[in-house]
Structure 1
């Protein structure tokens, strides 16, 4: 390879290279630096952790304070129903308690909500990221922005930079390039062919933590942008009591994301519009509603919410006249959708580097000294603290693996 003047490029030697400055990559860099490695972080975007900052705009949900065993059941690979989580996401090693301790170590005060979700008191991601980058700089970590990895040149690693193409010759590498969701924020999966050509197994990417298209009738337009509250959404063996939102495109939101993976994989979704009432009590209330009321007003009075009544009228037609059957319909309303949103609108992605391509320390079997973390790996988890904790946990393990590789090479 030659520079703009035609001179042959020589590769810069780097001890530890992390490619990708999202949560997984920054955690790997922190662990490596903590073990005494000289670390360079290459990030394709102008600033680090853009997706992390975007996710934290409405309140940074760091983790969920619940026992590691229960926490782990929310993780799986892209194969439907895969349990337990892959070994690289061992929540007994780096789980909710460790994430909370780590954030507090950055000087971030936390609080735990009524559902167990853990947030910074200030709710924002930016103060945590500033503190984190400051600590990394203090450890000697060098962040190189607008450095885009563009494949291999023999055994060297090629980068496009503002100053032209550059070659690096690292002793150990941690890849944390993200999956295929939100490509405008940097996760475009451009790395797939380069690793596949080196013998790394990669499962196809699919959307995760995504909404679903719904072809609404004109009557639903008045409810666009409103949150569905106080319902239970079930699919497969999963049940969610979280909120979700009706939009012009369909439905989306945290309560839906908890069960989105199994819906995407073919499970039928059902909505209980009155989960705190038994069918018999709900039927009694329907029977007692004044007969002079219109159907819509009767439903609104009994269900206590215009949006829940609108969903029953939208998805429950033809509505049964008998109170008992109407109650059963309201408590077992089929969620009608037209498929998931595309991966470009998904919060995260399923698929990626397969388990059989990874060693226990997240080293790529086909590329000794190269480790991978975050959404590049074949796992998925819902939002609500699970997804972010998984990214941090895999970055932590990959960082430890890379540090151990460097140490063994020194002997």
Structure 2
């Protein structure tokens, strides 16, 4: 059995930030990571542009976390959007804010930031152990399956940052749930968040696969209208516009699209009332309403057989989108569910297992894409790491 001071399990953003907080307190951590390399999901998410955080007033930022906002507030107040930007720039990665308030590193990719981050952790004395699969607790010890065989570690403090239950191939498989529940810890069931919708398309829709849908507003149930882009794919509908409504759609709310959100219903009806002559209905719609091929395809798909006149104008402003529910859990960008908040104290330490903290997506919270997910992972990792450092320092002072 190996004895160490601080153990972090999971080398995603939450785990790396927990290790950094420990290192900043003069406590070098050992990070155990099941995969061959750290932060694989972080790198994948940053392939098309790493959205670090969101530049907006704090209270508006906080509402993205719904009922988990009161729990997350102190962590986000301590390490919110401003602090995330300063942290990235401290790693030599200047940031910029896009027109929608999303904040990105100027390099756009995640890899330069991760390399700088790992160098900082190395300077702090952090040790990374790859292919160390956590298998659970055994009394006071933590057990691993490693390339060298089973290992047991007794740590002064332990931080679990094992992620949610999506993208299993990148490390977030949720298999930790049984081992944590065995400690008497309550868990909420996993559910897909920020996930696409399954749609059983008619054959003519195949030629539109891959097309982006722009200039559309979406609404789930009686919620507010939300403007955002999405993509027509062979599997259904995917993209930020859909992800923002994931929770309501997962819970059964119907989805409606306004194909012309900048037009009044009267304007749509007036345009459709114009004589179409010998033009087909689809050509009439394209010319009268200015619908691009993607929006026209959605109207033809979900409103067939197309009525004419006022009923068609109504559909253009509130088109019911038929779907078969969310894509599978493992295809989701993130997950809802996880360890219930009542299982941890204000420092994110498990009350059922003092000396063990949680961080990141293991906790029961969800938020839309757009910088909210990563910011909360970083903030909870930093919070848990700082709390663990204080406990370990206090323990050493008593000895």
Deviation per CA, 1:80-126: give whole Å up to 9, x if none.
xx364533664322211111111111110111111011111121000
CA contact (8 A) 1:274 1:303 kept: no
Match for residue 354 of structure 2 among 368, 373, 378? 368
User: Aligned partners of 1:185 and 1:131: how far apart in 2?
Assistant: 21
- For each residue in 1:263-321, what CA deviation from the matched residue of structure 2 results, as whole angstroms up to 9, or x when unmatched? 11111211110111111112222223633211111222213301101101111233231
Deviations 1:103-161 (A, max 9, x none): 11111011111101111112100000001001110111111111111112332111111
Instruction: Classify the secondary structure of the residue corresponding to 2:99.
Output: coil
Measure the CA separation in 1 of the matches of 2:81 and 2:12.
19
Residues 85/182 of structure 1: CA separation in 2 closer, same or farther (3 Å cut): farther
Instruction: Classify 1:332/1:54 alpha carbon distance in 2 versus 1 (closer, same or farther; 3 Å).
Output: same
**Which residue number in structure 1 is paired with residue 262 of structure 2?**
276
CA offset digits 1:328-384 (Å, max 9, x no partner): 211111121001111111111110000110100100010001000111100001111
Instruction: Find out whether 1:342 has 2:328 as its counterpart.
Output: yes
Normalised by the length of structure 1, the TM-score is: 0.93
Tell which deviates more after alignment, 230-239 or 265-274: 230-239
**Residue in 2 that maps onto 1:151:** 136
Distance 1:87 1:48 in 2: 25
Distance in 1 between residues matched to 2:77 and 2:141, nearest whole Å: 37
Establish whether residue 230 from structure 1 lines up as the match of residue 223 from structure 2.
Answer: no
| Deviation for aligned residue 1:405 | 1.4
CA root-mean-square deviation: 1.4
Q: Residues of 1 paired with 2:318 and 2:224: CA distance?
A: 15
Aligned equivalents of 1:289 and 1:348: distance in 2? 49
Is residue 266 from structure 1 mapped to residue 252 from structure 2 by the alignment?
yes
Q: How far off its partner does 1:72 sit?
A: 1.0
Look up the match of 1:6: none
Structure 2: gaps spanning 5 or more residues = none
Q: Could you tell me how far apart the structure 2 residues matched to 1:51 and 1:238 are?
A: 31
Unpaired segments ≥5 residues, structure 1: 1-10, 77-81
Aligned-partner Cα distance in 1 for 2:323–2:142: 45
Q: Tell me if 1:291 matches 2:271.
A: no
Shift of 1:219: 1.2
1: CA distance, partners of 2:378 / 2:140: 29
CA distance in 2, matches of 1:83, 1:159: 32
Q: Distance in 2 between matches of 1:190 and 1:332?
A: 41
Q: Which residue of 2 aligns with 1:382?
A: 368
Taking structure 2 as the reference length, what is the TM-score of the superposition?
A: 0.96
Count of residues in correspondence between the two structures = 395
Equivalence for 1:215: 200
Residue of structure 1 equivalent to 2:296: 309
* Distance change (3 Å), C-alpha of 1:372 and 1:225: same
